[in-house]
Chains A and B, each alone.
Chain A
């Protein structure tokens, strides 16, 4: 005993928690968000000298102030949620699909192509054709890196990242092909007069179909990952490839199948963006959401229900910041800055959920 005393005990050491009460975990996350909002408030104050509280009030107005704004917020949320849901199976398998941006874009291109070339089909048929086309396009874009990963263990993070830029250039190419009017270098609103291929209004609401479609996908994915045999296989492959192999799971098949699903849903997100929201296609159709969705999927621990909460928070911030920007004559990139700070805090707080600090003399918290 006395010999042990002579060893200098570090001021603080770290131990992994075996488990944490869920309420405590969410308390830590809530504290992180509050801390991030305080840091953001300071940032806002130093830049604009405005009262941060009234700025947050303005943000709330911007996101939920009018009926129309609520629907815009919902529309943005559904788009982001759809991509995050698509990423969930891939990430659960620990396959780093950072190619959502590209998968969304090719899905968008497929949708736009259907809207342009098949505009004479009756609406329900056209919608189904668009759905299938965007699904296939996204699936193919996801399949290419998956095959190389499965066969030759090619690094998927870097591969999917590069595929994004191939897709962006492909989009630029298609935009130049379809530009309307000539020389504008943009496609313009597709089928402005006939509205062929646009998501139809349901109960008079323009964006209700987006909500229905994406929520259906969200719950379906939750059930798929949680209750199906394939979902279990994904979890095992994600935890340990060797265990999976030992249990007789064909890892290659699971990788390829899961990436097909992941890419396909991201492709559908492209359709939601093109046919359900923008009614046009450009390199901004994905607009960085493919990257934001990665963070959503990761922070939600691949639980698609939790993703709804996180997308709601991020989209609220984004819409709110757009409102501040126009009201106080700043530019809308303020939202990315605010979002960045919140992401840092949310990522950092996971440490306190997974580990506990033990201080010298005593058990710590």
Chain B
């Protein structure tokens, strides 16, 4: 029982990172932009929040918890949105290829983040690894009374505030797509930009907004990873990159519906950590178990294309640039 609860806890924390990433990417993809820069964007968000918090903590003697969180969020989301803006400018204004631009953004983001993550402290004149204890503690603060409620407390309330934020954003995003006029317009841009354009919808503005805001939301995943998952430190081990691609996988798994990301993300987390709780696995067979989320995603991808159900398909114009005069 105890190990089952800790599996759930590990899955929820893990799932929250990719839920942010996936919900942001869903918004981007609904506008017809297949942004393969999610890992880069999460990297940018993570490192910017860490840098902001680092300078704030080293500037004042006793950091204020609320300010810590605000600074980390503003820096992280800002940097991720800048990443999204680079991608948008390249693909929407300059009509560069989306796959290639996204991959370039991933390379760039990983370079920036690992460069500063590894040498920020040295550049600032300190020694050893960077660490932002106070900010991380503020991010990981649990709800005081509820978290002490025994088993339900541990399953539902033993997390920082961002875990709940992820669920709220996912549900709001679903409502936005399903019930709002703006969401309908956005979806029409992703399905068929020429028709949307003819109907008087500003295709460029919709794509720009969706991609930049989507990048900001994906970036929250990077912030959560750095502040909560690794407790305010940095390691150049490429984990964010892996999580970023898992977020892209999760978008497929949810069939472009954010509401599915809420349970899908935790399911991915369970699948990822399952090996840890199965006895009798050797170190090598554990590695095979870690394939599970990717294999399941492939199976879902294949099933979706086999069944051809209209509401399960990716946006029709996903990955294609739109140029009004190009018809």
On whether the beta carbons of B291 and A169 are closer than 8 Å, the reply is yes
On whether the beta carbons of B104 and A343 are closer than 8 Å, the reply is yes
Q: A176-B283, A333-B115, A351-B94 are in contact. Are A158 and B252 (CB under 8 A)?
A: yes
On whether the beta carbons of B295 and A348 are closer than 8 Å, the reply is no
Tell whether B285 is near chain A: CB-to-CB under 8 Å. Answer: yes
How many Å from the CB of A336 to the closest CB on chain B? Answer: 3
On whether the beta carbons of B301 and A159 are closer than 8 Å, the reply is yes
Partner of A344, one of B86, B112, B242, B302: B86
Q: A291-B107, A329-B122, A331-B118 are in contact. Are A347 and B319 (CB under 8 A)?
A: no
On whether the beta carbons of B86 and A291 are closer than 8 Å, the reply is no
Partner of B107, one of A154, A343, A348: A343
Tell whether B314 is near chain A: CB-to-CB under 8 Å. Answer: yes
Tell whether A189 is near chain B: CB-to-CB under 8 Å. Answer: no
Q: Residue on B with the closest CB to A338? A: B111
How many Å from the CB of B162 to the closest CB on chain A? Answer: 25
Per the bound structure, the CA–CA distance linking A14 and B322 in Å amounts to 13
Which B residues touch A174, using CB under 8 A?
Answer: 284
On whether the beta carbons of A154 and B326 are closer than 8 Å, the reply is no
On whether the beta carbons of B301 and A177 are closer than 8 Å, the reply is no
Count of chain B residues with a beta carbon within 8 Å of a chain A beta carbon: 57
Partner of A172, one of B96, B99, B100, B287: B287
Q: A152-B302, A173-B288, A176-B282 are in contact. Are A157 and B99 (CB under 8 A)?
A: yes
Highest count of chain A CB atoms <10 Å: which of B100, B107, B236: B100
On whether the beta carbons of B99 and A340 are closer than 8 Å, the reply is no
Tell whether B202 is near chain A: CB-to-CB under 8 Å. Answer: no
Q: Which A1-44 residues have a C-beta within 8 angstroms of B?
A: 14-16
Partner of B284, one of A96, A176, A340: A176
Highest count of chain A CB atoms <10 Å: which of B36, B86, B298: B298
Highest count of chain B CB atoms <10 Å: which of A16, A157, A335: A157
| 20 sampled A-B residue pairs with Cβ under 8 A | A98-B36, A98-B99, A98-B103, A148-B305, A154-B305, A157-B319, A158-B297, A159-B302, A162-B301, A166-B298, A172-B287, A176-B287, A294-B100, A330-B115, A336-B107, A336-B108, A337-B112, A339-B111, A347-B100, A350-B94
